[in-house]
Chain A
C-alpha cells in the first residue's frame, strides 16, 4: 500500500512540477479585464469616427457620427478597455455605424442569422495567422463582439486574441445578452454569408 501511495504521489507530483515549470515560461496572452457596463446607459461616443480615414464598414457606412442620446451616458471607454454593454448601447452603436460588429459564434450559426454587416470571426480563426479581413478592417476601429449571451465565453476569447495582435483595435465591447438577446429585442438581423470584408 505504501509503495502504491508513493507511486501515485510521484505521478501527481511530477505532473504538478512539470506543469509549474511550464507556467513560468508561459507566453499566453493576458486575460482581458472586462468591466460590466451592461446596466449603465449607452456609451458616450467620441465626436468623430474612431476608425482610420477612408475605412468603410461592410454596410457601406463611412463612419457618420450619430446623435448622442439624451439619456445619461456611461463613461467613454478607453481604447484598451473592454466592457460588457447592454442591448440598447449595442443598438446605439449599430445605428451610428461607427463600430464593426463581430460574430464570434460558429460559421453555421452565422449563416443562419446574424447582426447585419457583422464580421464572422471565431477564436480558432485567430489561433494562427489572423485573416486579412482582421488586419484590413479592425485596426483603429471600435468593435462590438457577440456570441450566445451571458454564459458564452467566445466573445472574450476573440477579444483576448485580438488584443494579443497589438494592432490598436478598440475600444472593444461585448454584448452582454449576445445574439439571442438581440433577436429577442426585435433588432434587425440577416442571414447568409458575410459580405463587405475582404
Chain B
C-alpha cells in the first residue's frame, strides 16, 4: 500500500465521515423536519417505518462516520455508505421524475453544495460521494487507519 494512497484514503475517509456526521447531527437535532422530509417523498410507507427511518438513518450514518473517521472497518463502513447513497439516489431520482418540489432533508436546514429543491445537482453530489466511498471500499482505509494498525499487529500483509 503506497504512502500516497494512505494519505488519499485518510483525506477521503475524514471528508466522508465529516459529511455523514454533520448530516446525522442535523437530522437528530430536528427529527420532526427529517420525518416530514421522508414523507414528502410520498413513498407508501406506514407511519412506523417513517418513524424508524427518522432515527435509524442518522444513527447508521453515525456508526459509518465514526468507522470511517477512525479507519475501523473502513471497507464495511464505505460499503454501507454506498448502500445508503444508493437508496437516497433512488429516492431523489424518483422525486425528480415525479416533479416533487421537495427538499431532501439530508443536512437539515443546511446545504452541502446544491441549493433549492432537489434536482440533478443532488444526483451528481451523491454520485461523487459514492465514487469517493468506492475508492475506500476497494483500496481500504490505508496505513493511517486502525484497520491497517490491526493488520500490521496481526502480522498480515495489508491488502493493497
Contacts A7-B76, A8-B76, A11-B80 given: A18-B109 contact, CB under 8 Å?
no
Count B interface residues, CB 8 Å.
37
Q: List the A side residues contacting B57 at CB < 8 Å.
A: 15, 19
Question: For the complex, would chain B's binding face be called helix, strand, loop or mixed by DSSP majority?
Answer: helix
Query: Which chain A residue has the least Cβ–Cβ distance from B79?
Result: A8
Selected interface stretch from A38-46, A61-69, A110-118, A150-158: A150-158
The answer to whether A59 has its CB under 8 Å from any CB of chain B is no
Question: Does B59 contact A123, Cβ atoms closer than 8 Å?
Answer: no
The answer to whether A37 has its CB under 8 Å from any CB of chain B is no
List CB contacts (< 8 Å) of A1-31 with chain B: 4, 7-8, 10-12, 14-16, 18-23, 26, 28-29, 31
Question: Does B73 contact A7, Cβ atoms closer than 8 Å?
Answer: yes
Q: List the A side residues contacting B40 at CB < 8 Å.
A: 153
When chains A and B are docked, how far (Å) is the Cα of A40 from the Cα of B39?
26
List CB contacts (< 8 Å) of B24-67 with chain A: 30-33, 35-36, 39-40, 47-48, 51-64, 67
- Chain A interfacial positions (CB closer than 8 Å to B): 4, 7-8, 10-12, 14-16, 18-23, 26, 28-29, 31, 123-124, 127, 148, 151-153, 156-157, 160-161
- Chain B interfacial positions (CB closer than 8 Å to A): 30-33, 35-36, 39-40, 47-48, 51-64, 67, 73, 75-77, 79-80, 83, 99-102, 109
